[in-house]
Homo-oligomer: A and B are copies of this chain.
Amino acid sequence: RPVREVLFFPSRPCCIEQLLAEAAEPGAPTRPCPCPLPSGDTALSRLVRRLLSARRSLDLCLFSFSCPQLARAVQLLHRRGVRVRLVTDSQYMGLHGSQIGRLRHAGIQVRHDQHSGYMHHKFAIVDQRMLITGSLNWTTQAIQTNRENVLVVEDAEYVKAFQDEFERIWEEYNPANYSFFP
Contact = CB atoms under 8 A, between A and B. Distances in A.
A117 B120 CA distance: 19
Interface in A140-181: 141-142, 145-149, 151, 155, 157-158, 161-162, 165, 169
B158 A6 contact: yes
A117 to B, nearest CB: 3
Count of this chain's copies in the oligomeric assembly: 2
Nearest to A134: B133
A162 B63 CA distance: 23
Contact of A6 (B119, B134, B161): B161
A157 B118 CA distance: 31
A135 interface: yes
Q: Which of A10, A133, A141, A157 counts the most B-chain CB atoms under 10 A from its CB?
A: A133
9 contacts: A4-B155, A6-B161, A6-B162, A8-B165, A10-B117, A113-B147, A120-B135, A120-B148, A121-B148
A111 interface: no
Q: Which of A4, A10, A161 counts the most B-chain CB atoms under 10 A from its CB?
A: A161
B121 A147 contact: yes
Contacts of A133: 134-135, 149, 151
Contacts of A78: none
Nearest to A87: B147
A109 B8 CA distance: 24
A81 to B, nearest CB: 29
A65 interface: no
Contacts of A118: 142, 145-147
